[in-house]
Amino acid sequence: MTHVLDPDALSDGDRLLAPPVDPFSDVTRSDAAFRAFLHGLPGVDQVGAEARVAVLGTRSIKTTAKAWAIDMAISMVDLTTLEGSDTSGKVRSLAAKARRPDPGDPNCPPVAAVCVYGDLAGVAREALGTSGIHVAAVATAFPSGRASRAVKIADVKDAVANGADEIDMVIDRGAFLAGRYLDVYEEIVAVKEACGSAHLKVILETGELVTLDNVRRASWLAMLAGGDFIKTSTGKISPAATLPVCLVMLEAVRDFRVATGTQVGVKPAGGIRTTKDAMKHLVLVNETAGPDWLSPDWFRLGASSLLNDLLLQRQKLRTGHYSGPDYVTVD
C-alpha cells in the first residue's frame, strides 16, 4: 500500500520541503508486486482498438491544415539507416538531407534526428554540427537484445562517447514474456544511468509481444523505469508499427502523465512509408494523448523512405503538380 502524505497535516514550510509523492513507489519492490500491478492494468479491447483507429483513419486533412501537418511530420522524423552495409559516406549524406530535406526550399523544416548504429554516431555528430538535430544511436545489442547486461551497458556508453545524445535501447523480450518483469525494469534503469544526459528511447518490439495487453504492460514498465520515450519497434521484424499498437502506447503515456505528472514521448517505427501513414499517426496523437504531444520533443516517426514521400506531397501542395522520383535523393 502506498502511503500518501496528508497535505492538510503539513505546515506551509513542511509542504514546501516535502518530496513529491510517488504513487508507484511500492510497485517495483518485488517481482510479485510488479506482476500484480502490471496484470492489474485495465485490459485492452482489441476489437475496440481496431475500430477506433479505423474511424480516426478516415479523417481528411486538406489544404492549409495538410501543409502544417506535413511540415510537422517532417520535423518529427528520425531519419534512419540501420544496415550492416552502412558507411561514413552514407551517414554524411543522410545528415545533409536531415539538415536541408528540400535543398530547393529553405522553408522546409529539418528533421528531428538522424538514427544510426553507435559506431557511426561520431560521424553523424560531426556532420550535423550545431544544427540542433539530434544524433540517435541504437544500442543494447540491437535488434535482438541478446547479450549480457555488461555488454549492453558498454554498448550504450560507447555510443554516448561517440556523440549520441539519444539512445534507442531494446528490451529483453524473452525476459518480459517469461514474466521476469523486475529483470527488464532493472536493466532499463541501468541503461538510463549509463545514458548520462542522453535521452533514452525504450524499444518494446511490439510485434513480438503478441497481445495489446502486453504492449500496455511493457509501456508502463518502461515508463516506470525512467524511459524518456517508448518506441514500438526495431523495424527489423513484422509487424512493426501498427495503429492499434500506437493507440495503446499513446493511452499509456496519457494515463502515466495523469498519474505521475511526468510526460513521456512515443515513437512508432517500421512500416511508416507514406504521407497518409504519417497523417493517420498525427490524428491519432491529437485525439488520444492530446495536442501536448504534437511536437518533436514528444512524438517521433522512425523512418527512412517516409521523408521522400512527405517531400513530394509538400512540393505538390506548393506548386500544384507532382515531381518525378528524381526530385528527392535515394537514401
The C-alpha atoms of residue 36 and residue 16 are separated, in whole angstroms, by 33
The C-alpha atoms of residue 203 and residue 221 are separated, in whole angstroms, by 12
Mean pLDDT estimate for the chain? 92
φ, ψ for residue 295 (rounded to 5)? -160, 145
The string of DSSP letters for 290-303 reads -GGG-STTTB-EEE
The residues near 61 (Cβ < 8 Å, ≥ 6 apart) are 69, 279, 283
Q: Which one of the listed residues 201, 231, 277, 280 is annotated catalytic? A: 231
Higher pLDDT, 186 or 13: 186
pLDDT given for residue 290 in this prediction: 97
φ, ψ for residue 307 (rounded to 5)? -60, -40
Reported confidence tier of residue 2, pLDDT bands at 50, 70, 90 = very low
The cell numbers describing 103, all together, are 535543398
Reported confidence tier of residue 204, pLDDT bands at 50, 70, 90 = very high
Residue 244: CB atoms within 10 A of its CB come to 22
pLDDT given for residue 320 in this prediction: 79
Q: Assess whether 168 carries a catalytic annotation.
A: yes
Q: Which one of the listed residues 78, 102, 168, 309 is annotated catalytic? A: 168
Q: Assess whether 90 carries a catalytic annotation.
A: no
The pTM (predicted TM-score) of the whole model is 0.91
The burial of 91, by beta-carbon neighbours within 10 Å (0-12 exposed, 13-18 middle, 19 or more buried), is given as buried
Share of the chain above pLDDT 70, in %: 92
Res 9 pLDDT > 90: no
pLDDT tens-digit readout, 83-104: 999 999 999 999 999 999 999 8
Q: Assess whether 231 carries a catalytic annotation.
A: yes
Reported confidence tier of residue 304, pLDDT bands at 50, 70, 90 = confident
The string of DSSP letters for 76-102 reads HEEEE---TT--HHHHHHHHHHHH-SS
Q: Which one of the listed residues 267, 277, 280, 309 is annotated catalytic? A: 267
